[in-house]
């Protein structure tokens, strides 16, 4: 499936075949594509928790208002972000760059984020949002459907996955084989309502 088709056909699916299993190669492919998503200063601050344990999934489902896709989808990903990724050995993000690039970029990372708590959080949400779309489009291209989720108790889910204190949960995504099509689109705004040229 080409990119245009994947974008047009991707929908949030709520009902998945609970018996379908994705192969390790398929799961690895999706995650390998996800980590190609761009991040500011290449800090790669996303962290992907792939929940496999069935009992843990049941507990997360309870914390997700009993939404069936949490346990029934082939794959459950919790997209988290390390708010302090920028200060944890930032040299590694540019290890393959020329030394003059490293000498410029690494101090810039530290200067940009130091003491900027809101910026750290903003970047976390941006990074995970971009990665989420990569995951959903990759899944659709592979013949799978997906559902981005914010309908859960983040504190409870964080407790269940032992979320580190300097991390946040941005969203969850379920991936699998749909057993029921999405409802018709609720109504897209016309392009003229959402896109302007030069200024509002």
Asked if 152 contacts 60 with a C-beta cutoff of 8 angstroms, the reply is yes
Confirm whether 74 is domain-assigned.
Answer: yes
Helices (H), the chain: 3-9, 24-34, 54-62, 69-72, 99-113, 117-141, 154-160, 191-194
Percentage with pLDDT > 70 across the chain: 100
- What is the Cα–Cα distance from 85 to 92, expressed in whole angstroms? 11
Confirm whether 48 is domain-assigned.
Answer: yes
- Reading the block at residue 47, the tokens are 């962290």
pLDDT surpassing 90 at residue 198: yes
pLDDT surpassing 90 at residue 83: yes
Domain of residue 157, CATH code = 3.40.109.10
Which pTM does this prediction carry? 0.95
Confirm whether 90 is domain-assigned.
Answer: yes
> Which H or E element spans position 48?
strand 46-51
- What is the Cα–Cα distance from 176 to 49, expressed in whole angstroms? 16
Confirm whether 191 is domain-assigned.
Answer: no
pLDDT surpassing 90 at residue 96: yes
61 contact partners, CB below 8 Å, separation of at least 6: 67, 68, 70, 71
pLDDT surpassing 90 at residue 1: no
pLDDT of the residue at 172: 98
pLDDT of the residue at 12: 95
Q: What is the pLDDT of residues 136-193, one digit of tens each?
A: 999 999 999 999 999 999 999 999 999 999 999 999 999 999 999 898 899 999 999 9
Domain count, the chain: 1
Confirm whether 195 is domain-assigned.
Answer: no
- Mean pLDDT, residues 5-33: 97
Q: CB 138: neighbour CB atoms within 10 A?
A: 21
Confirm whether 129 is domain-assigned.
Answer: yes
* Owning domain of residue 97: 3-180
68 contact partners, CB below 8 Å, separation of at least 6: 14, 15, 16, 61
Confirm whether 187 is domain-assigned.
Answer: no
Confirm whether 81 is domain-assigned.
Answer: yes
């Amino acid at each position: 499936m080409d990119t245009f088709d994947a974008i047009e056909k991707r929908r949030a699916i709520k009902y998945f075949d609970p018996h379908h299993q994705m192969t390790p190669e398929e799961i690895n492919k999706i995650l390998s594509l996800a980590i190609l998503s761009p991040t500011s200063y290449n800090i790669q601050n996303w962290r992907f928790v792939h929940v496999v344990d069935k009992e843990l999934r049941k507990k997360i489902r309870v914390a997700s208002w009993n939404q069936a896709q949490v346990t029934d989808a082939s794959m459950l990903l919790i997209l988290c972000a390390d708010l302090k990724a920028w200060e944890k050995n930032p040299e590694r993000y540019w290890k393959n760059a020329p030394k003059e690039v490293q000498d410029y970029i690494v101090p810039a990372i530290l200067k940009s984020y130091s003491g900027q708590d809101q910026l750290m959080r903003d970047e976390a949400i941006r990074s995970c949002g971009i990665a989420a779309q990569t995951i959903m489009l990759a899944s659709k291209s592979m013949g799978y459907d997906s559902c981005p989720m914010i309908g859960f108790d983040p504190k409870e889910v964080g407790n269940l996955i032992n979320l580190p204190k300097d991390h946040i949960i941005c969203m969850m995504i379920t991936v699998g084989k749909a057993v029921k099509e999405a409802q018709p689109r609720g109504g897209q705004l016309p392009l003229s309502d959402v896109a302007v040229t030069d200024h509002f």
